[in-house]
Amino acid sequence: MQYTDKIIHYYTILFIFFRRLDLLFLSINQFDMNISVSELPLLDELKPIVNENIKEFAEKGHTLIRDILSPEEVAAYRPVIVDAAEKYNTERRKMQDRDTYGKAFLQIMNLWRVDEAVKQFVMAKRLGKIAADLMGVENVRIYHDQALFKEPGGGPTPWHQDQYYWPVDTNNTITMWMPLVDIDVDMGMLTFASGSYDKGAIFDFEISDESESAFDDYVKERNFSITRAQTMKAGDATFHRGFTIHNAPGNNSNKMREVMTIIYLADGARVSQPKHQWQKNDHAKWLMSKPVGELIDSELNPKVL
């Protein structure tokens, strides 16, 4: 019995020791997490853009700007964006059970409304000023953000136009597309039909197999130049107009293509009459159902600068 009692006493001490050790590590991790959120870089230091980017954006409807975020800034923001995307992702289906759109990427929208750390990224003056300068406007407002995570083995993103969905009265719209990890073409690089933005909405198709087929024919018939980077570093970003036709290949790598996007509108834009159900949905979801003709200035659409 004495031997048994000693064994029990020994294991009891070990259990208490390791339990206290677990609690210590948990406290340290929580402390580190709080420090990382509270001390995130503000990203308010502006980055002037060169005339070549402004000219390319005006001519082609898209441009790539390198090194917008430093490696240290990416290292600070990537974990909080990834954590928020994982927390609020609602896609639970297996890849084989999804349609084309579902296979293209995990899409988690308006994280800035539910996560203060992501809000600091989305409201960054550095990013908003680049968007404003490319469009030649004084200020921009948020339409919405979205994390677009293309899983390993994820399918291609069909040809489409973003602004097909947006009930707004301006063509001064722009999407920033920033990878949070280094990517190449095999991971699903954003691809543009250069110069395709100036005719407005081309087809009455949401992003789908139908949009892929129709836009593919349209792009080929009009001999648009197809442009995409071979590589992008984390912290680089492309900016494209709302009506620029674009797509992306599938992710043939074994890594997640982590991309954070922000859609901006020129300040002064107004709500337009929704043309179809998709725009009715956006009108309610992103514009708080503001009356047609009114300024887009709801609490969901704050000024950035």
Which residue shows structure tokens 């097909």?
164
Q: Which residues contact 293 (CB under 8 A, 6 or more apart)?
A: 270, 271
User: What is the length of the chain?
Assistant: 305
Using a pLDDT cut of 90, give the percent of the chain over it.
79
Decide if 292 contacts 273 (C-beta within 8 A).
Answer: yes
Which residue shows structure tokens 């082609």?
60
CATH number, span 47-286: 2.60.120.620
Most confident of 149-153, 154-158, 299-303: 299-303
Domain boundaries, the chain: 1-39, 47-286
Mean pLDDT of all residues in the chain?
89
Q: What is the 3-state secondary structure (H, E, C) of 3-52?
A: HHHHHHHHHHHHHHHHHHHHHHHHHHHHHHHHHHHHCCCCCCCCCCCCHH
pLDDT digits (tens, 9 = 90+) for 172-195: 999 999 999 999 999 999 999 999
pTM of the shown model: 0.86
**Is the confidence at residue 248, as pLDDT, over 60?**
yes
pLDDT digits (tens, 9 = 90+) for 196-228: 999 999 999 898 899 999 999 999 999 999 999
